[in-house]
Protein backbone atom coordinates (compact mmCIF):
# COMPACT_ATOMS: atom_id res chain seq x y z
CA UNK A 1 0.00 0.00 0.00
CA UNK A 2 1.17 3.52 -0.84
CA UNK A 3 1.61 5.52 2.39
CA UNK A 4 -0.02 8.93 2.91
CA UNK A 5 1.03 12.24 4.49
CA UNK A 6 -0.27 11.33 7.99
CA UNK A 7 1.80 8.12 8.02
CA UNK A 8 4.91 9.87 6.63
CA UNK A 9 4.64 12.57 9.33
CA UNK A 10 4.27 9.98 12.08
CA UNK A 11 7.29 8.02 10.84
CA UNK A 12 9.37 11.18 10.40
CA UNK A 13 8.91 11.82 14.14
CA UNK A 14 10.68 8.48 14.75
CA UNK A 15 13.61 9.50 12.49
CA UNK A 16 12.63 8.08 9.08
CA UNK A 17 13.42 11.41 7.34
CA UNK A 18 15.88 13.96 8.77
CA UNK A 19 15.57 16.89 8.41
CA UNK A 20 11.81 16.78 7.82
CA UNK A 21 9.55 19.49 6.39
CA UNK A 22 5.90 18.86 7.44
CA UNK A 23 4.48 20.85 4.51
CA UNK A 24 5.31 21.35 0.85
CA UNK A 25 7.69 24.35 0.71
CA UNK A 26 7.41 26.47 -2.45
CA UNK A 27 8.99 29.70 -1.27
CA UNK A 28 11.89 30.55 1.04
CA UNK A 29 11.81 34.18 2.16
CA UNK A 30 11.13 36.13 -1.08
CA UNK A 31 12.51 33.46 -3.43
CA UNK A 32 10.43 30.80 -5.19
CA UNK A 33 11.94 27.32 -4.93
CA UNK A 34 11.35 23.96 -6.57
CA UNK A 35 9.02 22.39 -4.02
CA UNK A 36 10.27 20.09 -1.30
CA UNK A 37 8.80 18.50 1.80
CA UNK A 38 5.61 16.58 2.53
CA UNK A 39 3.00 16.02 -0.17
CA UNK A 40 -0.23 13.98 -0.12
CA UNK A 41 1.36 10.60 -0.85
CA UNK A 42 5.08 11.27 -0.90
CA UNK A 43 8.00 13.35 0.22
CA UNK A 44 10.11 15.57 -2.06
CA UNK A 45 13.74 15.44 -1.02
CA UNK A 46 16.38 18.07 -1.74
CA UNK A 47 19.72 17.97 -3.47
CA UNK A 48 22.65 18.55 -1.12
CA UNK A 49 24.94 21.46 -1.99
CA UNK A 50 27.97 19.46 -0.86
CA UNK A 51 28.71 17.52 -4.02
CA UNK A 52 27.72 16.91 -7.63
CA UNK A 53 29.76 14.85 -10.09
CA UNK A 54 29.48 14.52 -13.85
CA UNK A 55 30.58 11.56 -15.96
CA UNK A 56 33.31 12.37 -18.42
CA UNK A 57 34.86 10.33 -21.17
CA UNK A 58 38.45 9.22 -20.76
CA UNK A 59 39.69 8.16 -24.23
CA UNK A 60 40.37 4.44 -24.45
CA UNK A 61 38.26 3.54 -21.41
CA UNK A 62 34.84 2.07 -20.82
CA UNK A 63 32.92 2.75 -17.61
CA UNK A 64 32.79 -0.59 -15.77
CA UNK A 65 30.42 -0.99 -12.80
CA UNK A 66 32.56 -3.91 -11.52
CA UNK A 67 35.79 -1.93 -11.66
CA UNK A 68 34.78 1.71 -11.48
CA UNK A 69 37.44 4.28 -12.26
CA UNK A 70 36.74 7.38 -10.12
CA UNK A 71 38.47 9.50 -12.76
CA UNK A 72 35.36 8.99 -14.93
CA UNK A 73 33.57 11.38 -12.55
CA UNK A 74 34.57 14.98 -12.13
CA UNK A 75 33.34 17.41 -9.52
CA UNK A 76 31.41 20.42 -10.69
CA UNK A 77 31.20 23.77 -8.98
CA UNK A 78 28.27 25.01 -6.95
CA UNK A 79 27.05 28.32 -8.42
CA UNK A 80 24.80 30.93 -6.88
CA UNK A 81 22.71 33.84 -8.10
CA UNK A 82 19.41 35.48 -7.17
CA UNK A 83 17.56 32.23 -8.08
CA UNK A 84 19.54 30.15 -5.57
CA UNK A 85 22.43 27.69 -5.47
CA UNK A 86 22.80 25.29 -8.41
CA UNK A 87 24.96 22.87 -10.31
CA UNK A 88 25.11 22.83 -14.12
CA UNK A 89 24.45 19.51 -15.84
CA UNK A 90 25.81 19.82 -19.40
CA UNK A 91 23.69 18.83 -22.40
CA UNK A 92 23.53 15.08 -23.08
CA UNK A 93 25.40 14.22 -19.89
CA UNK A 94 24.87 12.20 -16.73
CA UNK A 95 25.55 13.31 -13.17
CA UNK A 96 25.42 12.08 -9.59
CA UNK A 97 24.34 14.11 -6.58
CA UNK A 98 23.32 13.25 -3.04
CA UNK A 99 20.19 13.85 -1.00
CA UNK A 100 20.26 16.43 1.75
CA UNK A 101 17.85 14.33 3.84
CA UNK A 102 18.92 11.15 5.61
CA UNK A 103 16.52 8.19 5.50
CA UNK A 104 16.06 5.32 7.94
CA UNK A 105 13.39 3.02 6.50
CA UNK A 106 11.34 0.57 8.57
CA UNK A 107 11.66 -3.12 7.71
CA UNK A 108 8.28 -3.27 5.93
CA UNK A 109 8.80 -0.15 3.78
CA UNK A 110 10.52 0.34 0.43
CA UNK A 111 10.80 3.84 -1.02
CA UNK A 112 10.80 4.53 -4.75
CA UNK A 113 12.64 7.61 -5.91
CA UNK A 114 10.96 9.24 -8.93
CA UNK A 115 11.61 12.42 -10.88
CA UNK A 116 9.82 15.73 -10.41
CA UNK A 117 7.84 17.13 -13.34
CA UNK A 118 9.60 20.52 -13.09
CA UNK A 119 12.87 18.86 -14.13
CA UNK A 120 11.30 16.35 -16.53
CA UNK A 121 9.84 19.26 -18.50
CA UNK A 122 13.32 20.66 -19.21
CA UNK A 123 14.79 17.29 -20.18
CA UNK A 124 16.39 16.29 -16.87
CA UNK A 125 15.50 12.73 -15.95
CA UNK A 126 15.97 11.32 -12.47
CA UNK A 127 16.75 7.62 -12.58
CA UNK A 128 14.10 5.53 -10.80
CA UNK A 129 15.80 3.80 -7.86
CA UNK A 130 14.55 1.98 -4.76
CA UNK A 131 15.61 2.30 -1.15
CA UNK A 132 14.81 -1.14 0.25
CA UNK A 133 13.36 -2.21 3.60
CA UNK A 134 15.66 -1.18 6.49
CA UNK A 135 17.91 0.94 4.26
CA UNK A 136 19.62 3.92 5.95
CA UNK A 137 21.64 6.86 4.70
CA UNK A 138 21.73 9.69 2.19
CA UNK A 139 20.60 8.55 -1.26
CA UNK A 140 22.98 8.99 -4.17
CA UNK A 141 20.80 10.53 -6.89
CA UNK A 142 21.28 9.96 -10.62
CA UNK A 143 20.33 12.49 -13.29
CA UNK A 144 20.58 12.51 -17.07
CA UNK A 145 20.20 15.61 -19.20
CA UNK A 146 18.50 14.45 -22.38
CA UNK A 147 18.18 17.98 -23.76
CA UNK A 148 20.56 19.75 -26.11
CA UNK A 149 21.04 22.58 -23.61
CA UNK A 150 22.92 22.79 -20.32
CA UNK A 151 20.51 22.64 -17.37
CA UNK A 152 20.57 23.89 -13.80
CA UNK A 153 19.88 21.51 -10.94
CA UNK A 154 19.15 23.48 -7.78
CA UNK A 155 20.73 22.59 -4.44
CA UNK A 156 18.65 22.83 -1.24
CA UNK A 157 15.49 22.48 -3.37
CA UNK A 158 13.32 19.54 -4.40
CA UNK A 159 14.80 17.18 -6.98
CA UNK A 160 12.97 13.86 -6.59
CA UNK A 161 9.91 12.52 -4.83
CA UNK A 162 9.93 9.47 -2.59
CA UNK A 163 6.93 7.15 -2.59
CA UNK A 164 6.71 4.82 0.42
CA UNK A 165 5.28 1.37 -0.22
CA UNK A 166 4.43 -1.06 2.57
CA UNK A 167 4.62 -4.82 2.19
CA UNK A 168 4.52 -7.88 4.37
CA UNK A 169 7.68 -8.29 6.48
CA UNK A 170 10.49 -9.61 4.30
CA UNK A 171 12.54 -12.65 5.17
CA UNK A 172 15.84 -10.76 4.84
CA UNK A 173 15.97 -6.94 4.96
CA UNK A 174 18.63 -4.75 3.37
CA UNK A 175 20.18 -4.24 6.80
CA UNK A 176 20.14 -7.97 7.64
CA UNK A 177 21.91 -8.90 4.41
CA UNK A 178 24.44 -6.10 5.01
CA UNK A 179 23.67 -4.28 1.78
CA UNK A 180 26.66 -2.61 0.14
CA UNK A 181 25.08 0.86 0.12
CA UNK A 182 23.92 0.88 3.76
CA UNK A 183 24.64 4.01 5.84
CA UNK A 184 25.76 6.16 2.92
CA UNK A 185 27.20 9.50 4.04
CA UNK A 186 26.18 12.80 2.49
CA UNK A 187 28.49 12.29 -0.47
CA UNK A 188 28.27 10.66 -3.90
CA UNK A 189 28.85 6.90 -3.70
CA UNK A 190 29.94 5.22 -6.94
CA UNK A 191 28.97 1.78 -8.24
CA UNK A 192 30.01 -1.13 -6.01
CA UNK A 193 29.89 -4.88 -6.59
Q: Among candidates 68, 74, 121, which has minimal Cα distance to 94?
A: 74
**DSSP codes of every residue in 68-131:** --GGGEEE---EEETTEEEEEE-TT-EEEEEESSEEE--TTEEEEEEE-HHHHTTTEEE--EEE
Residue 144 and residue 183 in contact, taking contact as beta carbons nearer than 8 Å: no
CA dist., res. 142 & res. 22, Å (int): 25
Query: How far apart, in whole angstroms, are the C-alpha atoms of residue 120 and residue 54?
Result: 18
- Contact between 96 and 145 under an 8 Å Cβ cutoff? The reply is no
Q: How many residues are given for the chain?
A: 193
Q: Which residues are catalytic?
A: 142
Q: With b meaning 16 or more CB within 10 Å and e meaning fewer, what string describes 26-38?
A: eeeeeeebbbbbb
Amino acid sequence: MLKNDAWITQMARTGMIQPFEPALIRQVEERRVISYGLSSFGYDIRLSPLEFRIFRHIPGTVVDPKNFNPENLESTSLHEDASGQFFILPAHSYGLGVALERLALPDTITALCIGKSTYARIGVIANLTPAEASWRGHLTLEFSNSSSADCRIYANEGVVQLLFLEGEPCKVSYEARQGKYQDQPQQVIVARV
